[in-house]
Amino acid sequence: MLTLKLITEETERVIRGLEKKHFDGAKETIEKVIEIDRNRREAQQKLDKAKQEAKQLAAQIGSLMKQGKKDEAEEIKAKVAVIKQADKALQETMENAEKELHDLLCTIPNVPNDDVPEGKDASDNVVVKEGGVIPELPADALCHWDLCKKFNLIDFDMGVKITGAGFPIYIGKMARLQRALEAFFLEEARKSGYLEVQPPYVVNEASGYGTGQLPDKEGQMYHCNLDNLYLIPTAEVPVTNIFRDVILDEKDLPIKRTAYSACFRREAGSYGKDVRGLNRLHQFDKVEIVRIDTPEHSYESLREMLDHVEGLVKKLELPYHILRLCGGDMSFTSAICYDFEVWSAAQKRWLEVSSVSNFESYQANRLKCRYRRADDKKIELCHTLNGSALALPRIVATILENNQTPEGIRVPKCLVPYCGFEMLDDKNF
């Protein structure tokens, strides 16, 4: 959530940033925020003044009663009662303004960093780096869904029977490869200084609000109505919420955490080739990296996170490029975001496998995640960052397609120590 300080002190920059994100009615919304805040502060000032007056008058009552001036004391009592009645109206006005202000702020996205390019959609994203070698496959090369059927690696139909579309069943060596990827990603994160945690897969409303998933404008979260809990769309939500309502010491920053989790997304509105096979699932596995940092150091943390994810795709021997997302393609909460895409050789298309974002103080303001400065002990909002490192489904799809041979699928060398085999084939045990 944007701070009132930012909105009131840098109004024009905020409006320009929201327009870059294609937020409808940016100027009108920000002007309304400022107006509501002004009304709230005016009500607060009147309330404070009235309370002070009532306190001063009330102090006279006892003295007048001792002096036998009962009539004068009763007059003052009547004045105090009138003031207190007016106070109730002022208090109600102020509380209504605070609620209206909070609800309105929740609808306003984060302001993008100046380095975010202009643009409306994914076609305007900017490739900032690329690497790896795109493999040349024979004309009869298979897409991953056909390879899975050929070598009995994933049963999509059985998943539909048990649950529905988007919930596949991994079999034999493929199940072991899933475990291998999870272990590899977690171990690489540990080597990079991330402390591993194992979070819950369901969160309460406060947690969803803290990281910006709630209010859920697009209906993408699974909701457990009876208990008012939500299945997590990413481990970012529970891991970042560890630091909700916490004041950290500057000397302890940056804080680095990693977690594996299953992720659950309704993916409402998805259709066509984008949902075939592993391209888009309702349940999938992912390893997440999260950082809590100071504003001065958070962009250095972002660079380190990008280097970390790039190192993973390099070790997996996958051709990749890195995109800096334009304003119109960014998430609601991010200040800047980079996507990693790998080349799926049989589908002949790029598949997104990671997003790495700096939210600056936007999430921290919702979370009340703060730190105490070492020099003057002043308490400031932290910056929060997170990244997929990595999401498994499209990584698996690309490994299958890019490494296919007539005998089976070659397993990247970095994974062999974790899974115990070099080929995915019909000897699936």
Share the mean pLDDT of the chain: 94
Q: Whole-angstrom Cα distance, residue 310 to residue 386? A: 15
**What is the reported pLDDT for 386?**
98
Alpha-carbon 264 to chain mean position: 14
Is 225 assigned a ligand-binding role in the annotation?
A: no
- For residues 259 and 198, the answer to whether their CB atoms sit within 8 Å is yes
DSSP state of 404: B
**What is the reported pLDDT for 271?**
59
Give the residue from 377, 363, 19 showing the smallest Cα distance to 209.
363
Rounded to two decimals, the pTM is 0.92
**What is the reported pLDDT for 270?**
59
Is 152 assigned a ligand-binding role in the annotation?
A: no
Instruction: Look at residue 409 and give its three-state secondary structure.
Output: strand
Is 334 assigned a ligand-binding role in the annotation?
A: no
Strand order in the sheet with 126-131: 126-131, 320-324, 336-344, 349-360, 383-391, 283-293, 255-264, 195-196
Is 288 assigned a ligand-binding role in the annotation?
A: yes
Please identify every stretch of the chain with a pLDDT value under 70, giving residue numbers as ranges. 268-274
Q: Kindly list the distances between the CA atom of residue 135 and the CA atoms of 53, 142, 319, 344, 408, in Å, as whole numbers in the listed order.
A: 80, 14, 8, 9, 16
Is 331 assigned a ligand-binding role in the annotation?
A: no
Helices (H) and strands (E) in the chain, counts: 13, 18
* Residue 155 main-chain phi, psi, to 5 deg: -110, 100
- Which tokens sit at 88? 């109730």
Is 75 assigned a ligand-binding role in the annotation?
A: no
Using left for φ > 0, alpha for ψ between -120 and 50, and beta otherwise, residue 116 falls in beta
Is 258 assigned a ligand-binding role in the annotation?
A: no
Domains along the chain with CATH numbers: 4-105 (1.10.287), 122-424 (3.30.930.10)
**What is the reported pLDDT for 390?**
97
Instruction: Give the pLDDT confidence of 78-99 residue by residue, as tens digits.
Output: 887 777 777 788 888 888 999 9
**What is the reported pLDDT for 418?**
98
**What is the reported pLDDT for 76?**
77
DSSP state of 197: -
Q: Where are the beta strands (DSSP E) in 15-67?
A: none
Q: Whole-angstrom Cα distance, residue 356 to residue 288? A: 10
**What is the reported pLDDT for 86?**
76
Residues 6+ apart with CB under 8 A from 313: 131, 132, 320, 340, 342, 353, 390
